[in-house]
Amino acid sequence: MKPTRSLLAGALLACALGQAAQADNWPSRPIRTLVAFPAGGSADIVARLVTQKVGEMSGFNFVVENRPGAGGNLAFDATASAPPDGYTLLFSTPGIAINPSLYRKVEYKLSDFKPIALVGEAPLMLMVRPDLPIHNIKDLVAAGRQKPDAIRFASSGNGSSSHLAMEVLKSMAGLQYLHVPYKGGGAAMADMLGKRVDVTMLPISESMPYIRDNRLRALGQTGGTRSPIAPDIPTLAEEGVTGYSVTTWYMLLGPAKLPDAVVRTLAARLDQALKSPDLQLKLRNAGVSVINEGPQATQAFLDRQASSWAKAIAASGTHIE
Give Cα 283 to chain centroid, integer Å: 15
| Three-class secondary structure assignment of 35-96 | ECCCCCCHHHHHHHHHHHHHHHHHCCCEEEEECCCHHHHHHHHHHHCCCCCCCEEEEECCHH
Domains defined for the chain, CATH in brackets = 31-122+247-316 (3.40.190.150), 131-239 (3.40.190.10)
- Provide the residue-wise pLDDT of the chain in tens; the chain has 321 residues: 444 444 444 444 444 444 444 556 899 999 999 999 889 888 999 999 999 999 999 999 999 999 998 888 999 999 999 999 999 999 999 999 999 998 988 999 999 999 999 999 999 999 999 999 999 999 999 999 888 788 999 998 887 888 889 988 998 999 999 999 998 888 999 999 999 999 999 999 889 999 999 999 999 999 999 999 999 999 999 999 999 999 999 999 999 999 999 999 999 999 999 999 999 999 999 999 999 999 999 999 999 999 998 988 887 777 887
Where does residue 248 rank: exposed (0-12), middle (13-18), buried (19+ CB within 10 A)?
Answer: buried
Beta-carbon contacts of 56 under 8 Å, excluding residues fewer than 6 positions away, are none
Beta-carbon contacts of 176 under 8 Å, excluding residues fewer than 6 positions away, are 141, 144, 145, 148, 149, 150, 151, 170
Distance in angstroms (rounded) separating the CA atoms of residues 34 and 31: 10
Cα dihedral across residues 120, 126, 131, 137: positive or negative: negative
Q: Give 209-219 pLDDT, tens digit per residue.
A: 999 999 999 99
Distance in angstroms (rounded) separating the CA atoms of residues 221 and 74: 29
Task: Give the DSSP H/E element, type plus range, for residue 237.
Answer: none
Q: Give 66-103 pLDDT, tens digit per residue.
A: 999 888 899 999 999 999 999 999 999 999 999 999 89
Kindly report the number of other CB atoms within 10 A of residue 296's CB atom: 10
Q: Give 160-178 pLDDT, tens digit per residue.
A: 888 889 988 998 999 999 9
In this structure, the dihedral spanned by the alpha carbons of residues 310, 312, 314 and 316, taken in order and rounded to 10 degrees, is: -150
